[in-house]
Amino acid sequence: MAESTGELAYAALLQAVESRKRLLLDYLMQERFIERFRPAHIREAVYSYVTGGGKSLRPAVTMLACGALGGDESRALPVAAAIEIYHTWTLVHDDVIDRDSTRRGRSTVHHEFARRAREEFGWGTDDAEHYGRTIAMLTGDVQQSWAWSLMFEAHLERGVSAAVVLRLAQELAIQVTPRLVEGEALDVQYAGRARQLSEDQVLDMLWKKTGALYEFAGRAGAAIALNDAAPDRPEIQAIARFGSLCGAAFQIQDDILGIVGDETQLGKPVGSDIREGKSTLLTLKALERADERGRQRILRSLGDASASAADIAAMAALIRELGVIEYAQDLSRRFVREALAQLAPLPENEHRHLLALWAQYLIEREF
């Protein structure tokens, strides 16, 4: 009975997230936005991930956080849209950095437009791949610019205080972006160095890549509801901390699924982090716990771009045997428990309930 109740609760959550996603897409697909992006390759690339099947969890947090504090969600929609587009440009660039060919079951931007250059322009491999990376870079540039303009629409179109919008835009520019870029740079620098890193270093890197934007998403929704972006407001601090902890839990679950998930559900190859030599919490703990023979097996696969599916499966089996999956799951659950405690001082309402369900969903999702 408890299980069926939980399933019903998650179904209600996903329905709530989906309804907000539809509002978001309707807003972003307005002709006044679409016509800005030229030529056609840029326009198609800009919208590629937007319409590509993501769950839009970050903007949902912004809207739910606004509602949890008694705000009108519709006033938060432009900022939620800005956060979605901001997140999207980071994905486009991240896929170039990681040399990934698929995302959400589709070709990544740089991979797709390399193919288009070969087929439409007749270009050779090197020129086509350069074109694909170029389109991805330019797409991210345009999307970041669009994100800023969407922030300002919260004031111009929805009447959110100019002071609140400016404060949020400033935070996104001078705090979130540098943290995110730092996390991405550390992710690259840490590749193949898991044995030299501490758990705190890896968790800090993961938080900067993921938690910082979730923290901002919660803070933005709270600020719009209260019409006050002062960082010392207890309600804003609570929701921001909630988002931060959930972001860390989300990334840990992402890393777990990246090794033991279902490739058809994930929409990307399982084991890509291993092939790229990423220093995740899982590889760090596996190297700590393995004997010398096990460590050598891990190090042989880590960073081997040609590692086969069988190699990845063997690595995943070893990680399971060492109890690393359970360790990571326990850590993500701890983060979620701490996050839920942040919601305790907030008013009891449906939005707060949905935020709590969302936090639990992050660590139980399978894709």
Chain segment 342-356, per-residue pLDDT in tens: 999 999 999 999 999
Task: Write a three-state SS string for the chain.
Answer: CHHHHHHHHHHHHHHHHHHHHHHHHHHHCCHHHHCCCCCHHHHHHHHHCCCCCCCCHHHHHHHHHHHHCCCCHHHHHHHHHHHHHHHHHHHHHHHHHHCCCEECCEECHHHHHHHHHHHHHCCCHHHHHHHHHHHHHHHHHHHHHHHHHHHHHHHHCCCCCHHHHHHHHHHHHHHHHHHHHHHHHHHHHHCCCHHHCCHHHHHHHHHHHHHHHHHHHHHHHHHHHHCCCCCCCHHHHHHHHHHHHHHHHHHHHHHHHHHHCCHHHHCCCCCHHHHCCCCCHHHHHHHHHCCHHHHHHHHHHCCCCCCCHHHHHHHHHHHHHCCHHHHHHHHHHHHHHHHHHHHCCCCCCHHHHHHHHHHHHHHHCCC
Angle subtended by helix axes 125-156 and 40-48, to nearest 10: 70
The pLDDT of 55-75, averaged and rounded, is 96
The pLDDT of 5-19, averaged and rounded, is 84
Angle subtended by helix axes 73-98 and 2-28, to nearest 10: 90
For 108-112, 157-161, 205-209, 306-310, which range has the lowest pLDDT when averaged over its residues?
A: 306-310
Question: CA 150 to CA 170: how far, in whole Å?
Answer: 14
The whole-number pLDDT of residue 193 equals: 87
Which pair of structure tokens corresponds to residue 202?
Answer: 């890896």
Q: Residue 366 pLDDT > 90, yes or no?
A: no
The chain-wide mean pLDDT, for the chain, equals 93
pLDDT category at 209 given cuts 50, 70, 90 is very high
367: number of CA atoms within 13 Å, CB side?
14
Residues 77-106: tens digit of each pLDDT: 999 999 999 999 999 999 999 999 999 889
Question: CA 227 to CA 220: how far, in whole Å?
Answer: 10
Residues 318-327: tens digit of each pLDDT: 999 999 999 9
Which pair of structure tokens corresponds to residue 318?
Answer: 């070893």
The whole-number pLDDT of residue 49 equals: 96
pLDDT category at 5 given cuts 50, 70, 90 is very low
| Buried b or exposed e, range 186-222, using 16+ CB within 10 angstroms | bbeebbeebeebeeeebbbbbbbbbbbbbbbbbbbbb
Q: Residue 8 pLDDT > 90, yes or no?
A: no
Question: CA 245 to CA 342: how far, in whole Å?
Answer: 10
Token match 């299980």: residue?
3
pLDDT category at 155 given cuts 50, 70, 90 is very high
The whole-number pLDDT of residue 267 equals: 66
| Paired sense of beta strands 106-107 and 102-103, if any | antiparallel
pLDDT category at 263 given cuts 50, 70, 90 is confident
The pLDDT of 63-67, averaged and rounded, is 97
Token match 């991405």: residue?
184
pTM of the model as a whole: 0.94
Q: Residue 183 pLDDT > 50, yes or no?
A: yes
The pLDDT of 8-13, averaged and rounded, is 85
Question: CA 41 to CA 142: how far, in whole Å?
Answer: 12
Q: Residue 2 pLDDT > 50, yes or no?
A: no
What's CA 62's distance to the chain center, in Å? Answer: 14
